[in-house]
């Protein structure tokens, strides 16, 4: 399989839905078969995640068959994809859930059927159902987001919070981190808070309305992901305001956010899609093949990475966040061009 897949190609694969799983079931019986049920293939971060999964060395060389399925931001769609993957006897599943609670039932069904499930990126509430999971600490992300904005505001003033899709683990946990940090800044006041569903367009409209309703009253903007932070940035610029005077922060390190950091217009923290996706492939293969499996992703200590592999036996692996700065943004943009 090619080392990278375009968003259009991924969407086409996902559009095949159950047919894509059926094709996978026809693969050589001796190849481990993994289905990755992801939130959506309509945002850059999820596409980066899927590209990274398809770039895993054992997927690229055909040793492993990987099918990536688009959950289309719908918990029922993901649940149906689980049932199909179970019936098609996939060896393991990787799950990036839409909803923190609705995702529990399909994982339980897979576990009951003897199919190991590896969590990646966003999580279900009952993480004990996973064989193992690899993610970044979203509570910590919320704290990083809030502190970066509050400090740029001088520790006082009015802030607005653009939330992700309500009920997703990243939305729940990033908000928890933001609220914990708010307690440390008594002179910061939240004057607006609402979801924009991880969408740049929705955030643009939302923040435009807030800027109209609160002229000259918004001193900082927190976006729970980069897409929404970029939408907020566009709204600020559309109102003729200087973004360098209204701190805006997001999370993920998508390309447009890196470029905005480079221009000094916003702040971002990179979420390592490569580590989360390829690490999940290794954990899935360890679940299938046992202790003899040797990991191939660069994230592990055996390959000079930052995480201890520990035989693939730990239930939770936490990928560090990478703050995007003026010093590292050029290197991150150069790396993005090769992905």
- Is the pLDDT at 22 greater than 70, yes or no? no
Banded model confidence at residue 28, pLDDT cuts 50, 70, 90: very low
The pTM of this model reads 0.88
**Residue 243 has which token pair?**
């973004």
Domains in the chain with CATH codes: 7-136+273-319 (3.40.50.2300), 138-270 (3.40.50.2300)
Alpha-carbon dihedral angle through residues 151, 157, 162, 167, given to the nearest 10 degrees: 80
- Is the pLDDT at 7 greater than 80, yes or no? no
Read off the pLDDT of residues 76-87 as tens digits, 9 standing for 90 and up: 999 999 999 999
Residue 29 has a pLDDT of 54
Helix axes 75-87, 18-25, angle to 10 degrees: 20
- Is the pLDDT at 96 greater than 80, yes or no? yes
Do residues 227 and 200 make contact, with C-beta atoms less than 8 angstroms apart? yes
Banded model confidence at residue 337, pLDDT cuts 50, 70, 90: confident
Residue 339 has a pLDDT of 64
DSSP-assigned letter for residue 61? T
Q: Count the helices and strands in the chain (H runs, E runs).
A: 13, 12
Read off the pLDDT of residues 199-218 as tens digits, 9 standing for 90 and up: 999 999 999 999 999 999 99
Helical spans, DSSP H, in 129-195 = 138-152, 169-182
């Amino acid at each position: 399989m090619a080392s990278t897949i375009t968003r259009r190609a991924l969407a086409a694969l996902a559009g095949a839905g159950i047919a894509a799983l059926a094709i996978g079931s026809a693969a050589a019986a001796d190849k481990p078969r993994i289905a990755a049920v992801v939130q959506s293939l309509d945002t850059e971060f999820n596409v980066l995640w899927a590209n990274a999964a398809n770039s895993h060395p054992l997927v690229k060389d055909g040793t492993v068959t990987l099918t990536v399925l688009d959950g289309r931001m719908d918990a029922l769609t993901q649940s149906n994809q689980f049932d199909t993957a179970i019936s098609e006897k996939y060896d393991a599943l990787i799950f990036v859930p839409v909803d923190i609670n609705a995702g529990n039932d399909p994982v339980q069904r897979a576990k009951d059927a003897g199919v190991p499930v590896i969590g990646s990126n966003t999580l279900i509430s009952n993480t004990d159902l996973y064989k193992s999971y690899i993610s970044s600490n979203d509570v910590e992300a919320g704290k990083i987001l809030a502190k970066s904005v509050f400090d740029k505001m001088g520790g006082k003033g009015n802030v607005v919070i653009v939330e992700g899709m309500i009920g997703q683990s990243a939305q729940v946990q990033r908000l928890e981190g933001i609220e914990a940090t708010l307690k440390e800044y008594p002179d910061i006041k939240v004057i607006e808070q609402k979801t924009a569903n991880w969408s740049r367009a929705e955030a643009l409209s939302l923040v435009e309305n807030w800027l109209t309703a609160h002229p000259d009253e918004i001193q900082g903007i927190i976006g729970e992901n980069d897409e929404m932070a970029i939408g907020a940035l566009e709204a600020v610029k559309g109102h003729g305001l200087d973004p360098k005077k209204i701190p805006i922060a997001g999370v993920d390190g998508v390309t447009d956010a890196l470029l905005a950091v480079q221009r000094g217009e916003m702040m971002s923290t990179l979420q390592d899609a490569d580590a989360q996706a390829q690490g999940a492939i290794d954990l899935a293969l360890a679940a299938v093949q046992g202790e003899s499996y040797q990991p191939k992703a660069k994230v592990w200590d055996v390959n000079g990475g930052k995480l201890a592999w520990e035989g693939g036996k730990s239930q939770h692996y936490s990928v560090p966040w990478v703050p995007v700065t003026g010093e590292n943004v050029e290197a991150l943009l150069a790396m993005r061009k090769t992905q």
